[in-house]
Amino acid sequence: MLVTTSRDPSSKARRFARALASFLSLPYVNRGKQNLEEDETWLIVIEDHGNPAGLIKRAGDQTEQMSFQLSGDPEGRRLKRCVPKVAGEEMAATAIAKFFELEWHGSIAPARGRIIWVAPNALEFVDEGLAKFRLKI
C-alpha cells in the first residue's frame, strides 16, 4: 500500500499524508502528474479548501472512501518503522482495520506500541502512549 495526495496538494495535505504514511509504516509517494498504477493499493489524501478532509483507498477497480476532520497538526518527524494495530469496539474497529489493512487487537488498547484507537466518531493515532493526531469521523 502507498500513500499519496491529489495532484496539486496544499502543504497541510502533504504534511498529513507524510505523517499518516510514517505512522502506518508505508511509503509516501509525491504524485505530481503520475497516474495511479492498477496493481497497487493507494491511500489518497483528499482535501477541502486546503485542509485534509478524507482518504480514498483504491485497490484495482475497487474504491472506498473515509471522510474526516483533522484535529491538531501532525508532527513532521518520521517514526520508527512499526506496524500499528487497531483497537476499539469490535464492529467499528474491524471496519477501520479492514480499511487500513491492519489487524484488530481487541476492545482494550495495549499500554505500549502503535495503536489506532477507534472511539465513537473519532480515530486516535497513538504511538507509545503519545497521541500523534486525531481524526473526527
Beta bridge partners of 115: 85, 126
**Residue 52 pLDDT:** 96
Confidence of residue 33 (pLDDT cuts 50, 70, 90): low
Q: Could you give the percent of the chain with pLDDT greater than 90?
A: 69
**Residue 25 pLDDT:** 95
**113 by DSSP, 3-state: which?**
coil
- Fold category of 2-69 in CATH: Rossmann fold (3.40.50)
**Residue 31 pLDDT:** 76
Domain boundaries, the chain: 2-69, 85-136
Work out whether the CA dihedral 76, 81, 83, 87 comes out positive or negative: negative
Does the pLDDT value for residue 125 go beyond 90?
A: yes
CA gap 23, 75 in Å, rounded: 10
* Cα–chain center distance at 106: 19
Pair 122, 137: CB distance under 8 Å: yes
Residue with cell 476532520: 69
Pair 65, 81: CB distance under 8 Å: no
Least confidently predicted of 15-19, 50-54, 94-98, 129-133:
129-133
Neighbours of 94 (CB within 10 A): 15
**Residue 6 pLDDT:** 84
**Residue 49 pLDDT:** 93
**Residue 91 pLDDT:** 94
Question: Which grid cell is 110?
Answer: 495495549
Query: pLDDT tens for residues 71-116?
Result: 888 877 788 899 999 999 999 999 999 999 999 998 887 778 999 9
